[in-house]
């Protein structure tokens, strides 16, 4: 009986913690895949777009399927939260490091990065609130700018 209770509790704990096992923790392990995070954000943007289109389409139908509308809405909100999570816990908390304010060039780049990341969080929040595709377009544009800033492509482009 005790073994069954133990196994049940262990299984429930494992299932409850399963969603956290794939998150990148804040332990300084040094294992990072920055490009993968960019790909994940892009995939989330695509999913939000599809969700917005489905919500609009289902809302136009005379015999509305409210269950599907709710499911697409929840899906859209989940993926917007995923973007905010990656931006906050991966890039802001772990990857974009504060710079010495005396190093004007480096500090300017740092401020540009955190400004873009903040704008991404705001656009993800707005994407949760509406079905306006302008927010996903803005998110994609911000992601592209941040990608160039992060990997130094903007600095390289201007140096030629």
Q: Please check whether residue 133 lies inside any domain of the structure.
A: yes
Residue 21 has pLDDT above 50, yes or no: no
Q: Please check whether residue 15 lies inside any domain of the structure.
A: no
Give the DSSP H/E element, type plus range, for residue 69: helix 66-85
Give residue 38's pLDDT: 98
Residue 95 neighbours by CB distance under 10 Å: 14
Q: List the one residue out of 89, 54, 77 whose CA is nearest residue 124.
A: 77
Average pLDDT value for residue range 93-120: 96
Q: Please check whether residue 145 lies inside any domain of the structure.
A: yes
* Domain count within the chain: 1
User: Rounded to two decimals, what is the model's pTM?
Assistant: 0.79
Domain that holds residue 81: 32-159
- What is the DSSP secondary structure assignment for residue 87, as one 8-state letter? I
CA distances from 91 to 52, 97, 101, 131 (A): 26, 9, 20, 26
Q: Please check whether residue 12 lies inside any domain of the structure.
A: no
Q: Please check whether residue 21 lies inside any domain of the structure.
A: no
Q: Please check whether residue 14 lies inside any domain of the structure.
A: no
Write out the two tokens for 137.
């377009």
Q: Please check whether residue 27 lies inside any domain of the structure.
A: no
Q: Please check whether residue 138 lies inside any domain of the structure.
A: yes
Write out the two tokens for 75.
């899906």
Give residue 32's pLDDT: 77
pLDDT averaged over the chain?
A: 86
- What CATH number is attached to the domain comprising 121? 1.20.120
């Amino acid at each position: 009986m005790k073994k069954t209770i133990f196994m049940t509790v262990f299984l429930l704990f494992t299932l409850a913690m399963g969603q956290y096992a794939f998150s990148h923790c804040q332990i300084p392990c040094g294992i990072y895949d920055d490009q993968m995070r960019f790909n994940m954000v892009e995939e989330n943007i695509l999913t939000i777009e599809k969700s917005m289109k489905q919500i609009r389409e289902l809302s136009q139908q005379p015999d509305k399927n409210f269950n599907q509308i709710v499911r697409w809405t929840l899906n859209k909100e989940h993926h917007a939260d995923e973007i905010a999570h990656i931006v906050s816990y991966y890039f802001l908390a772990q990857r974009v490091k504060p710079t010495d304010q005396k190093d004007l060039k480096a500090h300017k780049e740092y401020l540009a990065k955190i400004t873009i990341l903040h704008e991404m969080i705001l656009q993800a929040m707005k994407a949760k609130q509406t079905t306006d595709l302008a927010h996903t377009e803005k998110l994609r544009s911000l992601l592209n700018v941040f990608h160039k800033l992060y990997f130094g492509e903007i600095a390289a482009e201007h140096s030629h």
